[in-house]
Amino acid sequence: MRLASRLLAGSLIVVTALVAAIVLIAGSRLHARLLEEKTDELSRAARVVAAHWSPGIDADSLAHTDGAALGYRVTLIDSAGNVVGDAEFSPDARRRLENHATRPEIIAARASGIGSALRQSASAGDEELYVAVRHPLGFTRVSITTARLESVVNGAQRDVLASGLVALGGALILALFFARSISQPVVELRDVARAIAGGDLSRRPALSAPGEIGDLATALQRMTEQLATRVAALQEDDLLMIALIESLEEGVLALDDRGTVVRINERGRALLNVQTPLPIAPEHLPREHAVRAAIADALAGEATAPQEMTLFDRTVTVSARPLPTAGAVVTILDLTMLRRLETIRRDFVANVSHELKTPLTVVSGYAETLLDEGIPTEQRRKFVKTIRDNAMRMQRIVDELLDLSRIESGGWRPKLATVDVTGVVSDVFMALQPSANGKGLTLVSDISPDAVRLTADHTAFRQVITNLVENAVRYTKEGSITLQTRRGDGGVWVDVRDTGVGIAAEHLPRIFERFYRVDAGRSREQGGTGLGLAIVRHLMEAHGGRVEAASTLGKGTTISAFFPSGKPA
């Protein structure tokens, strides 16, 4: 039931109850008042009749005469209680009346001089009010039927009821107006409160009412403004927290007291291989024992130290801490790259040591041999040449390591210019032609008309072409080496294709690493340092380009370098 209906129904019940109460109370009070006044009036009339009754006067005639004059029933009773005169009965009927000595009003009048009683009349058969006054000759009694009193009371009650109904109609109209004036602002405040509870903090009460309703509207408006401000602050804090968590390189998980994940960043999803939407049940987490144990310890209130483990082929450390309220926070740090770099560093140190150890051993050994003065001159000259060749090899290794370090550290930046591919290729082929001729190889240049020029650092481009062609000559026993250019993908591709022994598929991803050799013994025999392709890769990355390798074992290898047309990335 709506507020207006409740107010209207309540007003109707109250007013109806008031009208009924007024009618009943007024009727009862009026009846009592009339009874009191009629009792006084009848007592005076009884005294008047008593004044007229004297010895020698016919009592029956006096009763009829005074009864007609007063308008009441007059009864004269002797001291023995016999009716000697009655205004409503004939002498014959009067003689049949009962003795009145035991009537309540007669008993009271005999005791105190006057008595009254409201009772059912034995002779008339209706309810009457009797008042008796003691007289020397007996008693004078005057009575009136209460039907006359009831008619007066009923008339008064009808008048009061009519007035009450009129008042009820007016009250209902006022109550309806009042209910609407109260319910409409309350309904509006209710709608605004529901909208605010639903998350619409832009709603405001539009009314301006006096009194408590207006105060309530003002308080609701202020509360909404404060709530909007606090919600906005919480949202900003939440967004900032999400941004901070998402920017971490660590995976971060927040769990409640039952182990359910209630928050996780994208890094954590990637490391745990979990794509289930929040909340994430514990059974959806990896079943790695160390992960489950760390979570269990943290939920039990004990922080765990970082534990290194292998998770989905990645090396990670997992640590967990309990939260002060409930639940826990788990952090996962990916160490895969760090461990890979450590492995590369160890391999690099080992490779450098190995690459330098051989020529140093040769130089040291031949130098000690040269200390013997009995060595023939021709043999001595051969030993010196070997020492010089190995020293030059060590010098090349050191120089290339320095070049590689300078490129990687950013100390070198390409000076971009338009490079004539044909001229550089001709110079490189001319420098390497003796080595190619010595192995019976043919150097072929296939320069595309739309790729005659490209954007690159001139010196770096020459070094890239030299390293690629030199590698091809070194590892090709027969056939040809072809250098081809083609335009595509917003730049120029330079392909160096040989007909050598080729490279197995498992070695292709690693041939651009420092000192990586498919066949270490044969590579050293050919005089390579193991750094050429690594330098090529870093030079191409400095240009914003890339280098790729494709090979078929026993048929040859193609190394492709891409030079973009724009500025380096």
Q: CA 552, CA 509: separation in Å to the nearest integer? A: 14
Q: CA 494, CA 448: separation in Å to the nearest integer? A: 10
What pLDDT, on a 0 to 100 scale, did the predictor assign at position 519?
53
Question: Does residue 516 share a domain with residue 478?
Answer: yes
- The enclosing domain of 534 has a CATH number of 3.30.565.10
pLDDT at 4 over 60: no
pLDDT at 208 over 80: no
pLDDT grade for 232, boundaries at 50, 70 and 90:
confident
Question: Does residue 282 share a domain with residue 354?
Answer: no
Indicate the DSSP class of residue 83.
E
Q: Which of 71-80, 182-191, 343-352 is the most confident on average? A: 71-80
Tell me the three state secondary structure of residue 475.
coil
pLDDT at 551 over 60: yes
**Which of 353, 376, 406 finishes a domain?**
406
What pLDDT, on a 0 to 100 scale, did the predictor assign at position 524?
45
For the ranges 65-69, 149-153, 525-529, the lowest mean pLDDT is seen at: 525-529
Interval 346-355 mean pLDDT: 64
> What digits encode the pLDDT tens for the residues 119-153?
877 665 667 888 999 999 999 999 888 777 777 76
- The enclosing domain of 353 has a CATH number of 1.10.287.130
Closest CA to 186 of 5, 413, 388: 5
Q: Is residue 543 part of a domain?
A: yes
Number of structural domains (the chain) is: 4
> What digits encode the pLDDT tens for the residues 405-431?
666 666 667 788 888 889 888 988 888
What pLDDT, on a 0 to 100 scale, did the predictor assign at position 335?
81
Chain centre distance of CA 114: 92
Interval 309-332 mean pLDDT: 82
What pLDDT, on a 0 to 100 scale, did the predictor assign at position 139?
93
pLDDT at 40 over 50: yes
- Beta carbons within 8 Å of 274's beta carbon, 6+ residues apart: 261, 264, 268, 280, 284, 285, 286
Length of the chain: 569
Domain limits for position 438: 413-564
Q: Is residue 162 part of a domain?
A: no
Which carries the bigger pLDDT value, residue 339 or residue 479?
479
Beta-strand runs (E) in 171-245: none
What pLDDT, on a 0 to 100 scale, did the predictor assign at position 568?
47
Question: Does residue 545 share a domain with residue 513?
Answer: yes
Question: Does residue 329 share a domain with residue 359?
Answer: no
Cis preceding linkage at 279, omega within 30: yes
CA angle centred on 66, ends 62 and 69, rounded to 5°: 150
Q: CA 456, CA 566: separation in Å to the nearest integer? A: 9
What pLDDT, on a 0 to 100 scale, did the predictor assign at position 210?
60
CA angle centred on 417, ends 415 and 418, rounded to 5°: 155
